[in-house]
Amino acid sequence: MFGFIAARLVTAVFILLGIVVLNFILIHAAPGDPAAVMAGEAGAADEKFLADLRTQFGLDQPFTVQLWNYVSGVIQLDLGFSYRQQMPVAQLIWDRLPATLLLTSTAFVISIVIGVIAGVLAAQMQGTWWDTVISTVALLFYATPLFWVALMASLVFSVFLGWLPGFGYETIGANYTGLARVLDIGTHLILPASTLGLFFTAIYMRMTRASMLEVSRLDFVKTARAKGLRSSVIQRRHILRNALLPVITLAGLQAGQIVGGAVLTETVFAWPGIGRLMFEAINQRDYNVILGVFFISAAMVLLFNLITDLLYGVVDPRIRLTS
C-alpha cells in the first residue's frame, strides 16, 4: 500500500509539471497583452510606458526564458506575482482556498448523498411513477445552466422570501466569533452549496440507479434470496455495496469538475473563493493568477483521483488484496 501511494505521488508530480508547462504555453498563445491592460488602466499607453512595464515584469524576455523562470519558481512553490493585486499569487490563492474547499466539499457531499439515495429509491421503484419523478427532477437540475439556477435560487430564497443570505461568505461587519460565526458562514453556504451540489446530483442518481439494477440481476443476489434474506438486507448488504463501485469511480472524476462548476457559483454568489479569483483574473489578463489557479485545481484533481483509488481498495477486496 505504501509503495502504491509513493508511486502515485511521484507520477503526480510529473503530471503536475507537464500541466504547468502546457498551461503556460496555452496562456501565452492566447491573444491579449497584460502590459496593454495594465497600461490602459493606468491611463498612459505610450510605447515607453509599455516597454517599462514589460521590463518590470520580465515580459520582454524570450518565451523560453519566461517559461523556465516560471517553472523553476513553481518547483519552489513560488507561483509568481500578481500584477493587478500587487501580491504574491501563492498568498492570494492561500487566502481564498479555504472558502472554495468548504463550498466544493459541501456540494460534493450533497450531490453524492442525495444522488445515491435518489438512485436507490428510483431503482427500487423501477418503472413506477416515482421512478419517473425522481429521474425527471434530477435531470432538470442537470440540464439547466448552473448560473441560471444560481440566479433563480438567489432571487427566490434571498430576494423574495428573504430566508437566506444571497451573497458573500459571512455577514460583513457583524464580526461574529465562535459558534455564531460558524452558523453565519453555514447559512451563507446553503444556497451556493445546494445549487452546485444539485447540479451534479443527477449524475450520481442515474449511475446509482443503473448500477443497482445491473447488480440486482447478478447471481449472488439470487443466492441471497435463496438463503431466505429479507429484501431490505439484500438491497443494503449485497446490492448497494457492489453498486457503489462505479459510483466511486465517477465521484473521483467529478471531484475535478466540481471545481470548474465552482467558478460560476462563486461568481453569482460573490463567494470569495479561487473560482471567483480566476474569473476576475481572466477579465484582467492576470496571467500568473490564472496559471496559479490552474495549478491548484490540477493538483486537487490528482489528489481526488488518488483518494478514489485508495477508497476503491478499501471497498473492493479484489483490489486491496492483489496489491
Partner 1 sequence: MSLLSFENLSIALPTGADRPLAVENVSFTLDAGEILCIVGESGSGKSMSANALMGLLPEGVTPASGRILFEDRNLLDLSEREMMSLRGREISMIFQEPLSALNPLMRIGDQIVEVFETHGRLTPPERRKRALELMHEVGLPDPDATIRAYPFQLSGGQRQRVVIAMALALEPKVLVADEPTTALDVTTQAQILALIDTLRRERGMAVLFITHDFSVVADIADRVIVMQSGEVVEAGTADKVLLDPTHAYTRALLDAIPRLSFHDSVPHDDEAAPILRVQDLSMTFRTRTSGIFAKPRVVKAVQNASFQLQKGETIGIVGESGSGKSTLGRCLVRLLTPQNGTVEIGGKDIAKINGDALHQHRRRIQMIFQDPYSSLNPRARIGTILTEGLIAYGSDKKAARTRAQELLTLVGLDPSAMTRFPHEFSGGQRQRVGIARALALDPEVIIADEAVSALDVSIQAQVLDLLAELKERLDLSMIFITHDLRVAAQVCDRIIVMQRGEMVEFGPCAQVLGDPQTAYTRSLLDAIPGKAHERALAAQREATP
Q: 183 vs 225, which CB is nearer to partner 1? A: 225
Which spans of this chain sit near partner 1 (rule: CB under 8 A)? 1-4, 6-7, 10, 218-220, 222-230, 233, 237-238, 241-242, 315-318, 321-323
Closest CB to partner 1 among 162 and 317? 317
Q: Strands, DSSP E only, in 57-159?
A: 81-82, 87-88
CB 263 within 8 A of CB 278: yes
> In the bound complex, what is the minimum distance in angstroms from residue 109's beta carbon to partner 1?
23
The C-alpha atoms of residue 155 and residue 153 are separated, in whole angstroms, by: 5
Looking at the Cβ atoms of 2 and 129, the one nearer to partner 1 is: 2
Question: How far is residue 317 from each of residues 223, 232, 313, measured CA to CA in Å?
Answer: 20, 23, 6
Strand-pair partners of 82: 87
Q: Which amino acid is at 145?
A: P
CB of 311 to partner 1, least distance (A): 13
174: its cell numbers: 457583524
Cell of 3: 509503495
Rounded Cα gap, residues 61 and 54, in angstroms: 9
Q: Report the residue number, 22 or 233, with the smaller CB distance to partner 1.
A: 233
CB of 308 to partner 1, least distance (A): 15
82 — phi, psi (to 5°)?
Answer: -85, 120
- State the nearest-atom distance from the C-beta of 209 to partner 1, in Å: 17
Minimum Å distance from CB 247 to partner 1? 14
Cβ at position 135, least distance to partner 1 in Å: 20
Judged by CB, which is closer to partner 1: 36, or 229? 229
Separation in Å, CA 171 to CA 122, 130, 182: 40, 40, 11
> Least distance to partner 1 from the beta carbon of 312, Å?
11
Which residue number, 48 or 227, has a Cβ lying nearer to partner 1?
Answer: 227
List, in order, residues 6 or more apart from 274 with CB less than 8 Å away.
93, 96, 97, 100, 262, 293, 296, 297
* C-beta of 73 vs 313, nearer to partner 1: 313
Give CA–CA dist 36/24, Å, rounded.
Answer: 19
Cell of 30: 492566447
